[in-house]
Amino acid sequence: MELYQLKTFVAVAQEGNLTRAAERVFTSPPAVSAQIKALEDELGVKLFERTPRGMALTEPGARLLEEAERTLGAANRMRSAAAQLRGAAQGVVRFGTVSDPIALHLGDALVILAQRHPQVTLQLQQGLSSHMLQALQRGELDCAYAMTDLERIEGLTLHRLGVVDLVVALPTALAEAHPAATLPDVMAMPWVGTPSGCALRRHLDGLFASAGREYQEGALADTEGGVRSMVASGLGVGIVRLDQAQQAERQGVLKVWPGWRGHTWLCWAAPAEAKITPAVAAVRSAVQEAWAVA
C-alpha cells in the first residue's frame, strides 16, 4: 500500500468522479482506476460502485475512508515534524496590511514567499496602521505593514521600507470655491480624520497646531484609503498619500492643496527580534526582497 494510492482513494471519494479525481491528483483517469483496483485487491474489499452519477462509496469503503484520511494526516504531521527539525519555515502567519496592495508590493512579496517557503501560509487582515501596530503588541498579529513616524515602538521591531509623501486633499467643489485657499481657509473647512495614534492623525494635529488651532474631531475613516474616498465624496478635507491624491486628481474627484507637504514611513513591523519565528522571518525576507531592501 502506497500513500499515493490513499490520496487517490480520498480524491475519488470526495469528487465522486474519476476525471475530476485525476485532475486533483495530477494523473489520468485510467491511472486512477488502476490505483483503486490495486488498493481493492490488496485490501480484499470493494471500495466503490460505479453508478450513473459516478463513483459511490460502498459501506466498507466509507469506513476505510476515515482510516485513509487519518493515515494521510499522520503522514503530513510527520513531514511537518521533520521540517521543524530541519529549521524550515512553515505555518500560518497573521499578516496585517494597510490599503493599496500594489503600492505595498504585496503581490511581489507573496510570489517570492510562495517560491521560497511554500509551507508558509498567510492570513491577511486589513486596517488602519495604528490598529495593526496595536494588534501586534497584543499578539493578535504576527507581522504587519504600517505607516508610522516612530523609530521605535515598545515590544516591536520596525524595518523602514520607504518614504510616504503626504498632502492635503480637498473635495473638488471646495477647491473650486476657494481657488486660492490659505491655511486659515483650509482650517475652517470640514475635515475627515483618523483615530488618535495614527500617523495621518499626528500630521493633522501638527498642521492645526502650526496655525495655532486645535483639531476638533469630526468625520472619521478607519483606513488610509478611506480618507481619500471620503474626501472624494465631498465629506471634507483630509491628509492622504501623495500618490493616491494625484491619481484621484487625474480622475477629477479631488484637488491637492499646494500649501502643505509632509511625509511618514511605510514600515514592516513584527514582535521583538527574539520572538520572531522562522515563518515570520521568511515573510520579512520576502517583503524586503520585494522592496529591494537589504
- Regarding the domain delimited by 3-86, which CATH topology (the fold level of the hierarchy) does it fall under? Arc Repressor Mutant, subunit A (1.10.10)
Q: Which CATH architecture has domain 91-162+267-290?
A: 3-Layer(aba) Sandwich (3.40)
Phi, psi (rounded to 5 degrees) for 189: -80, 160
**Four-point Cα dihedral 276, 282, 285, 291, nearest 10:** -110
Task: Collapse the DSSP code of 211 into the 3-class scheme (helix H, G, I; strand E, B; otherwise coil) and give the result.
Answer: coil
The pTM for the full model equals: 0.62
Every domain of the chain with CATH number 3.40.190.10 lies at: 91-162+267-290, 163-263
Evaluate the CA torsion angle 130, 135, 138, 141 in order and state its sign. negative
- Choose which CATH entry (3.30.43.10, 3.40.50.1980, 3.40.190.10, 3.20.20.70) describes domain 163-263: 3.40.190.10
Report the 10 Å Cβ neighbour count for 252: 9
> Which amino acid does the sequence have at 161?
L
Residue 138 has what DSSP assignment?
Answer: T
**pLDDT at site 294:** 39
- Phi, psi for residue 145 in degrees, rounded to 5: -85, 145
Give the pLDDT of residue 73.
84
Matching residue, cell 487625474: 250
The pLDDT profile of the chain, 294 residues, written as one tens digit per residue, is 889 899 999 999 999 999 999 888 888 999 999 999 999 999 999 999 999 889 999 999 999 999 999 998 888 777 766 665 566 677 889 999 886 665 778 888 889 888 888 888 899 988 888 888 999 999 999 999 998 888 888 889 999 988 889 999 999 999 999 999 999 999 999 999 988 878 888 999 999 999 899 888 888 887 777 888 999 999 999 999 898 899 889 999 999 999 999 999 999 999 987 788 888 999 998 998 888 753
Residue range(s) in the chain whose domain bears CATH number 1.10.10.10? 3-86
Sequence-distant (6+) residues with CB within 8 A of 260 are 167, 168, 183, 207
